[in-house]
Amino acid sequence: MDKEDALVCFQDHIRSLEKVEDDEKERQRNRVKRLQRKNREAFSAFLDEMHEQGKLHSMSLWMDLYPAVSADQRFHRMLGQTGSTPLDLFKFYVEELKARFHDEKKIIKDILKDKTFAVEIQTTFEDFATVISIDKRAATLDAGNIKLTFNSLIEKAEARDRERQKEEARRQRRKESAFKSMLKQAAPPLDVHAQWDDVRDRFVNDSSFDAITVESERIRLFKEYMSALEETCGHHHSKQPSKKKKSKKHRSKRSRSRTPSESEEERSHRRSKKKKRSHSRTPSDNASMSDESDQTSRKSKKHKKKSKKKRHRTASSESESDNRERGEVSSKRKQTSDSRKEKTGWDTSESELSEGELEKRRRQLLKQLADDQ
């Protein structure tokens, strides 16, 4: 045998050995997979057993069942292998139980309907479970789903009870409002200090009185009505003086608003008087008045010049000078009024003369002028 043939034989032998080894590895992998699958199936069967025993249901938690699960060998066989873990299988199992809830709830309702059993607020879970367990259809039901169904039915019963209480409260409020309206519409009207025992016989035959069956409730409603009546009376009495005060204030405001217009009328009246006096005066009087006006105008000009020069003085000195000037002006006015008295013989002060007196004096002056001419 030459070398080439020996090499070919060697290669064929190596390939056959490699094939045997690969086949052995494949068989080993298949054995491991099969073993792992069997372990998972065994653990699932263990979960089924716990479910049948009532230990596992749709509301179970891993931390609650771990002590019981970890004590079984099927749990230990699952440890260390690839794929799903015991916790994963537990979660999948619980999810499947929860997915059956709606179907099992319908079955439970059918059982209750057949048994003519109604769930109320006072119903206990033990009574509910005994009624369900009697039926054959309850054999496949999950205990957790039964509990969830019971909770949902209790919630509905509580909602019905709350609605019933609201309706009763509405009816009671209607009765109380009717009772108070009866008291309000009483003829003759009730006095603020009236007592229930004194007025009770007046309402005995009324339907609103019969609607309130408890006597203590009637007394309570009567007291509430009387307290409200006292409050309304108190508010009414307290508001009256305020109205008087408001009316007084309104009158004072109106009087204040009238004063500017009245002062304007007085001013116009005084102006008309001045005009009449100016027409009734003699030429000599006019001349004297013009001289006096020139003197006052000169003095006022001088005063302005002095005030410009004395601006730097204090407010006290300015007030003193103003007072002095006012005194001078008043003295000048007195002098002019005295001169008028000497010439005409009449006191021509504006504030003390009325329209009739002015008219008389004007006529007398005209007569004197006519006589002089």
E strand or H helix at 348, and its extent? none
Please compute the mean of the pLDDT values over residues 343-360 and round it to a whole number: 61
Mean pLDDT across the chain: 77
With a CB cutoff of 8 Å and minimum separation 6, the contacts of 77 are 39, 42, 43
Model pTM? 0.49
Contact 285, 340 (CB under 8 A): yes
If pLDDT is split at 50, 70 and 90, which confidence band does 71 have? very high
At 69 the pLDDT is 92
- CA distance linking residue 16 with residue 11, whole number of Å: 9
- CA distance linking residue 329 with residue 322, whole number of Å: 11
If pLDDT is split at 50, 70 and 90, which confidence band does 272 have? low
First and final CA of the chain: distance in angstroms? 193
Q: What is the pLDDT of residues 275-286, one digit of tens each?
A: 545 444 444 444
Q: What is the pLDDT of residues 195-245, one digit of tens each?
A: 888 888 888 888 888 888 889 998 999 899 889 888 887 665 555 554 444
170 vs 285, residue with greater confidence: 170
Q: Choose among 149, 94, 141, 96: nearest CA to 119.
A: 149
Q: What is the pLDDT of residues 96-149, one digit of tens each?
A: 999 999 999 999 999 999 888 889 989 899 999 998 888 888 888 888 999 999
Q: What is the pLDDT of residues 6-29, one digit of tens each?
A: 888 888 888 999 999 999 999 999
Phi then psi for residue 284, to 5 deg, are -65, -40
Contact 186, 203 (CB under 8 A): yes
pLDDT above 70: percentage of residues in the chain: 67
At 140 the pLDDT is 85
- CA distance linking residue 246 with residue 68, whole number of Å: 88
